[in-house]
Amino acid sequence: MYRYQRRYCGPLQAVIFDWAGTLVDFGSFAPTQVLIDVFAEQGISISMVEARAPMGLAKWDHIQALGRQSAVAERWQARFGSAMTDADVDRLYHAFMPLQVQRVADYSAPIAGARECLAQLRARGLKIGSCSGYPRVVMEALLPHAHAAGIAPDIAIATDDLPAGGRPGPWMALENVQRLAVSDVSACVKVDDTVPGIAEGLAAGMWTVGLAASGNAVGLTYAQWLALSAAEQETVQQPARDSLFAAGAHYVIASVAELDAVLDDIQQRLARGERP
């Protein structure tokens, strides 16, 4: 007779990655710069800090959240004489999409250590999933360039692939579980550079690893990052670390280049019967 095991104590089975700021596009510039340009076309000046604040959400939701920021809302009101409506969000989104498709390849360079990280996961026998705040049309523009550069997860779920929607809900992460045929969500690790991405992994019952240096919160190019001293690097990434830990991340590291040691620790915790 089958006996249900309450605690999964087996091996890790899969790692599920975000894309921009996690596997490619150090500093996560592809979404933010296009948003700045789209708002500029409407006569609204948006700073990089403002554009980055809702990062991790689906892009329609990102635009809506950006327009609801008090300072941006004030500028919109002054420019148009009324608050931003859903129809305005639709208009901005439709202006955003072709520009994002056009430019996403420009930001498709792998993050340092990402190729090696994926190779280590293959060597461990782990399945590799991914999901993104990008819609499918943008993912289809990004994937050929990423694959040619050696970044090729087993699957890639876009935010509009599922009727339930995207982050911070668990649906994209759970779709990875189904398609990868993972037997227990606690055998999965979600890796992301944003708070909504960490929330997604937690909602799906997974271990979560936040990325402080390579992602949206620090927002530096790789060259700018390398130009900093070790002490300066620690200083600029500390707010990102604090934010990701506050969101509930089980671990926070600088980038995927440091993931291998974290997986060793998670495997030991699983063996002791711990759950995310």
Residues carrying an active site annotation: 18, 59
- In single-letter form, the type of residue at position 134 comes to Y
pLDDT per residue over 7-34, tens digit each?
899 999 999 999 999 999 999 888 888 8
Please identify which residue in the block is written with the tokens 């890790």. 12
Rounded to the nearest 10°, the torsion over CA 164, 167, 169, 175 is: 60
pLDDT per residue over 128-158, tens digit each?
999 998 999 999 999 999 999 999 999 999 9
**Residue 2's pLDDT is what?**
46
Q: What are 8's two structure tokens?
A: 């999964």
Alpha-carbon distance 223 to 31, whole Å?
19
Characterise 25 by phi-psi region: left (phi > 0), alpha (psi -120 to 50), beta (else): left
**Residue 4's pLDDT is what?**
52
DSSP of 103-126, one letter per residue?
A: HGGGG-PBPTTHHHHHHHHHHHT-
Residue 207 has pLDDT above 80, yes or no: yes
Residue 158's nearest CA partner among 240, 107, 202, 100 is 100
Q: Which of 38-47, 176-185, 223-232 has the lowest mean pLDDT?
A: 38-47
Q: How confident is the model at residue 1 (pLDDT cuts 50, 70, 90)?
A: very low
Q: Which of 30-44, 63-77, 87-101, 197-211 has the highest mean pLDDT?
A: 197-211
Rounded to the nearest 10°, the torsion over CA 185, 22, 212, 122 is: 60
**Residue 224's pLDDT is what?**
95
Residue 246 has pLDDT above 70, yes or no: yes
Q: How confident is the model at residue 59 (pLDDT cuts 50, 70, 90)?
A: confident
> What is the b/e burial string over 239-249, where b = at least 16 CB atoms within 10 angstroms of the residue's CB?
ebbebbeebeb
Q: What are the structural domains of the chain?
A: 14-28+108-271 (3.40.50.1000), 30-106 (1.10.150.240)
Over range 99-108, report the average pLDDT.
90
pLDDT per residue over 251-274, tens digit each?
999 999 999 999 999 999 999 999
Alpha-carbon distance 152 to 51, whole Å?
28
Q: Burial level of 258, CB count in 10 A (0-12/13-18/19+)?
A: middle
Q: How confident is the model at residue 169 (pLDDT cuts 50, 70, 90)?
A: very high
Over range 214-235, report the average pLDDT.
94
- In single-letter form, the type of residue at position 218 comes to V
Residue 233 has pLDDT above 90, yes or no: yes
Q: How confident is the model at residue 3 (pLDDT cuts 50, 70, 90)?
A: low
Average pLDDT over the chain reads 93
Q: Is this model's pTM higher than 0.85 or not? A: yes
Percent of the chain whose predicted confidence (pLDDT) is above 70: 98
**Which segments of the chain does DSSP mark as H helices, in order?**
29-41, 48-52, 59-68, 70-80, 86-103, 114-124, 136-148, 171-180, 195-203, 222-227, 230-246, 259-271
